[in-house]
Structures are given as C-alpha cells and as structure tokens.
Amino acid sequence: MALCCLLRPPRWHLRPPPLALLGPDRSLRTTTKGKGKKKAREGCSLPDPSWEERLANAVTPLWRLPYQEQLQVKYESQRKILQTLASRLEELGIDAQKPGGLCCPLQPVVPSPIINGYRNKSTFSVNRGPDGNPKTVGLYVGTGKARNIVCVKANHMKNMPSTHKQVAQCYEEFISRSPLDSCILFHEGGHWRELVVRTTSRGHTMAIITFHPQELGQEALATQKALLREFFTCGPGAVCALTSLYFQESTMTRCSHEQSPYQLLHGEPHIFEELLGLKFRISPDAFFQVNTAGAEVLYQAVGKLCQTTGDTVLLDICCGTGTIGLSLAHQVSKVIGVEVVEKAIEDAKWNAVFNGISNCEFHSGKAEAVLPQLLASWEDARPLVAVVNPSRAGLHYRVVRAIRNCRTIRRLLYISCKPEGEAMRNFLELCCPPDPRKKLTGEPFAPVLAIPFDLFPHTVHCELVLLFTR
C-alpha cells in the first residue's frame, strides 16, 4: 500500500456521495432510434418497461430469446443481405442469382463459445440518469435529435462481464465525490467524461478515463490525476485490481494517442491476451475483437478459407495488433500487415518478436496511402491472398481499387460486422465490371461463400466472412 494512504485520510471522504445511486455499467455507445425504440417496447412483456429493460432492448434486443433462436434471427438477417447484394449485382449486369436469390451459398451462423459476459471491451458514458443524477455512468437510451437521452446503468447487461460493471461502479463513486462536474456538452463546461474498460482472459484489467481539461492549469490537472490514482490504488477503487490505469485529456469527441497521448497513471503500459496459442500485447486504443473466444473460432475458419500453401503471401489489411496475420503465419511464407493506429502496429511488431515469428512485416499508416504504393510495385510471383477486416466505415475506394488492379490477388476474404452498411459499397466495387473512368481496370471478383460468426450474442449483429475469388 502506498505510504500516502497510510499517513493521511483519503480525499474521497471529503465529500459525501449523492443521495441517489443505482448500479453502473456500459459498453457500446448505443442509442435507441425510431424503429429500435418501437422494437424495444414490443419486445417487452410489460406495458411500461423499466429503464433497465429499455437499455437491454436497445443494446441487446435479442436477450429474451433462447440462443438457438437468436442464431436463426441472425441467419435470416444475413440471408437478406446476400439477397440485396445479388439484386445490386444484377443491376450492374452481373448474373449473380443463386438458389434462394442469394449471391452465393450461405452457411449456418457459427455460434459463440461464450454467450454471456463475452465482451473484453466496454465503453461507458457519463450523463444524466433516470433520477436526474448528472454523474451517472452507463449506456445511453434515447436520441440526441429527440433530446431524450438518458444514461442508464448497465449492471444487468448480459453481454458485459462483472469486472467491467465493477470498474464503472467505482468510477461513478469517484466522480460523485469530485467537486468537478461531468462534461455533458463541451461548451457548457464540466470535465469527467467516458470510461473504457478492457479485460483479458489472463485476468488483466485496463481502465481509460477521458477528461475534458476546459481551462484547468497543469497543477490542477496533476491534482485530479493524483486523486484518481489514489482512489484506484488504495481507495475504494482498489477492489478493481487494475493492471493499468490511463488518463486522456481530450477536447474532442474522439481523440487518438497521437492527438492527445494516453497518460499512464498506474500499473503496466499494456495488458496481454492469449489467442490460438499466441500471446498478444494490447495498447489502450489498439483494435482487438471484443469476443476473444469467438475470435479464435473466426480466425481458425479464416485460415482454412485462405487455402494457403507454403509459398503464399498473406496481405492482412486493417490488421490491428496482428492477430489474423500472426495466427496464420505458420502456414504462409510471408505476412504483410497494414494498420492506421500506430500503437497497434507497435504491438503487432512486439507480438511477432515475442512469439518467435519472423516472416511478418507491419506497415503503419492509412491503408489508402500504404496499400496502393505497396501493390503498385508488386513483382513477387508468389500467390497473394488478401484478408480485410475494416471498421464499419468500410474500405477506402483507393484500397478497393488497389486490390482490384493487383492481378496477383485471386482470393480475398472480407470480414465485416456491418455488411449491410458501407461494406456493401465495397462488395459492389470489387465485383462490378471494369470501369476505366473509375480506374477499376482489374478483373472483377465474385462472391463464392458466406459464413456468419456470432461474436455478439444477444445483439442483432454478427461478423460475416465473405469469400471472393476471380
């Protein structure tokens, strides 16, 4: 225990807690919009659902269904997406209709090995709760447009582990005693903002607290950081047993490490996870699939679908900490990873060295800047297989164009958590007839197989792996 904690009373006792406290937690910055709100009410057996039920219906709308029924709902959803893709391809003059109106065969949804508490990352907001408490730590119900956003504690959420809920509860306890206000609207002042909690199967826990500095000077900021450290190391928050405690000053909605560095207040700079027999280092803002057990199943399938040989080169686009490339490195001659988050690339390089993998190289930068340059000078005669795992925003057009125009790439796996969104645009760009005006001169791809993986039980989402060949 720190000497300071033994010599003087902790400062968090200087201010009494608020009169009303619920229980906290949050994971996804999810709001209930139009249809979602209607579905939330329809899915509830009570005429006037509680706030907890509203939140569950908004974030995890399938939580009431038996798991096998959840999988069937998701299968039907993916089937409609493939039907839409087939119709869109038909509009482009491509005969893509297969049995059932699909663009390619659709396999059953692969279930998650873990159904409850599977998330390894949760993001909690700070805002007014149902009781009016402006320092409620939880998830959103409502919309900004309707001006009816309410922050509801997430203790009851099925997809979130108890560790995340405990850290959120402690964070609320801390800010409830702080003389500084929560930051709900930037221009209205306030300081305390969101909390991100990351955990691993090795028992590691990382907490990242975002703080709006407003007009505070360096001395005042140092005081707040010291109070946070004290609370989570030798105060009530010590029960969380944090491996890492980070603090980020941010005047923007989203801020990268390069824009505003993550400041380590306590513990280790990284947490570690094991996946498919490999050890992975994770930084505060590095991408890692939120369902570790489900990711293992996904990556094993990806390895088989790639149909690599000993001389294959694997192109891992949007590689994060290198999980896909490193897990497949043993079955290819070389792995080339590209990722925009610089810290994630540092993790990927460390992961390769630590695991004794020497046939990988990782490039930091935007894929639309790195990939065209990389492939334009590609003269390697070895087979080249590409795996892309972009965010919901999909791939930049220049990335798709570089893939299309690289004749060596004959096989492409597209992994998407929202195939009905921007990914659909990418699918059409990959498969459309050559168009010199758009500089799409390469031979088009064709979808040949789709496999959904349920990495998000209780929600309507899943990861769709779509295999393209040419």
pLDDT in tens, 386-429: 999 999 999 999 999 999 999 999 999 999 999 999 999 999 99
Distance CA 62, CA 43 (A): 9
| More confident: 66 or 95 | 66
Structural contact between residues 109 and 453, judged by C-beta atoms closer than 8 angstroms: yes
Q: Which domains does the chain have, with CATH numbers?
A: 70-113+291-469 (3.40.50.150), 121-271 (2.40.50.1070)
DSSP-derived secondary structure for 423-462: HHHHHHHHHSPPBGGGTB-SPPPEEEEEEEE--STTSS--
CA 163 to each of CA 19, 42, 52, 78, 167: distance values in angstroms, whole numbers, following the listed order: 25, 31, 19, 32, 6
The answer for 167, left when phi > 0, alpha when psi is -120 to 50, beta otherwise, is alpha
Answer yes or no: are the C-beta atoms of 184 and 134 closer than 8 Å. yes
Query: Tokens representing 331?
Result: 């079955």
Angle at 240 between CA 235 and CA 243, to 5 degrees: 105
For 220-279, write each residue's pLDDT tens digit. 999 999 999 999 999 999 999 999 999 999 877 776 666 789 999 999 999 999 999 999
Inter-axis angle of helices 397-404 and 367-376, nearest 10: 20
- The overall average pLDDT reported for the chain is 89
pLDDT at 246: 98
User: Nearest to residue 249, comparing CAs of 227, 216, 226, 282?
Assistant: 216
Question: 313-327 as b/e, with b when 16 or more CB fall inside 10 Å?
Answer: bbbbbbbbbbbbbbb
Q: Give the integer Cα–Cα distance in Å for 343 and 364.
A: 9
151, 170, 417, 432: the active-site residue: 417
CA–CA separation, 423 and 416 (whole Å) = 7
Burial class (CB in 10 A: 0-12, 13-18, 19+), 254: exposed
Task: Sort residue 100 into left (φ over 0), alpha (ψ -120 to 50) or beta.
Answer: left
Is residue 417 annotated as a catalytic residue, yes or no?
A: yes
Query: Where does residue 455 rank: exposed (0-12), middle (13-18), buried (19+ CB within 10 A)?
Result: buried
Q: Residue type at 137?
A: V
Q: Place 378 in a pLDDT band, splitting at 50, 70 and 90.
A: confident
| Pairing status of strand 384-388 against strand 136-141 | unpaired
Q: What's the pTM value of the predicted model, to 2 decimals?
A: 0.86
Confidence of residue 17 (pLDDT cuts 50, 70, 90): very low
Residues contributing to the annotated binding site: 289, 339, 389
Q: What six digits make up the tokens of 219?
A: 């001395």
Max distance between CA atoms of the chain, in angstroms, equals 78
- List residues forming the annotated binding site for S-adenosyl-L-methionine: 289, 339, 389
- Structure confidence at residue 187 as a pLDDT band (50, 70, 90): confident
pLDDT of the residue at 256: 64
> DSSP alpha helices (H): ranges in 261-414?
292-306, 323-328, 342-354, 367-376, 397-404
B/e letters for 273-296, b = 16+ CB within 10 Å, e = fewer, are bebeebebbbbbbbbbbbbbbbbb
Instruction: Report, as an integer, the average pLDDT of 92-117.
Output: 94
How far, in Å, CA of 328 to CA of 199, rounded? 24
Give the CB-side neighbour count of residue 428, counting CA atoms within 13 A.
18
Task: Give yes or no for a contact between 451 and 107, defined as CB atoms under 8 angstroms apart.
Answer: yes
* Residue with tokens 């709100």, as numbered in its chain: 37
For 18, the 3-state DSSP assignment is coil
Tokens representing 388 are 């892309």
* Per-residue pLDDT, 49: 84
Ranges 26-35, 358-367, 402-411: which has the least confidence: 26-35
